[in-house]
A = this chain, B = another copy of it.
């Protein structure tokens, strides 16, 4: 069994490739939920949805969010009504948000709600929210604190950020399902996800770091030099006091990471790292990288 720790883009691209080698039933994905938000009365869990849609074969792999071919009738009508939604929610995607909110409002845990959605969509991999405790990433900006979704989607990352916070009413606990998945896996793979906002919240869940220390963990750097391959990782690493490069990532993961995978173009020197082509610009490249990573697991 392979367990991934995942955000919403880099790691799902690697999972896409891994499916060429590993049956979905042998894959567990521990997913960041700190970007979850209630919007338009319902519950978005953007990273969970990306992973669910990927396994269900319905993910829009142009954008890596939402459902392929979805329409935006309600979203567009809201604009005409003067009540713009700052996140573009598709009509089929919205049904998932409504269903999840209904289940949460009935008292189901996010883990149970996700399992039911996965089952309805025919997903056989284990898609596991990192925690059932509501938790959110906020960033401190010049204009005050913003929920990460507001910072990244509403303001398109165009705010200076000076700090990153995680907010929750109680310290988030990893679920039993998450810890079981880590403990029973042959390897844990952290794809090229944002170390601060995608992987950081997972590592912040009580029990995760300790469980990871006992496992073989491979992490793929999302950086080439001082730039992330995509997304807002640079500003977030700097605001958190880390170099925005593979060395900064290594420092964040140093207590549990066994193998660092760097891109072949990455000039930053990491002792003992494996250099691979990590730019997954299409499915074939995802499969190629996944194959090379699988061979690292079996070599050990």
Contacts and interface: CB of A to CB of B under 8 A. Distances in A.
Given A40-B42, A41-B42, A95 B120 contact: no
Interface string A57-86: 000000000000001011101101111010
A44 to B, nearest CB: 11
- Interface residue tally of chain A, by bracket? 20 to 34
Nearest to A42: B41
Contacts of A80: 95, 120
A89 to B, nearest CB: 9
Given A91-B91, A95-B74, A81 B120 contact: yes
A103 interface: yes
Interface string A116-145: 110011000000000000000000000000
A82 B95 contact: no
Given A40-B41, A77-B91, A77-B95, 17 more contacts: A40-B42, A40-B98, A41-B41, A41-B98, A41-B101, A73-B92, A74-B91, A78-B95, A78-B98, A81-B95, A81-B99, A81-B117, A82-B99, A82-B116, A83-B95, A85-B98, A91-B91
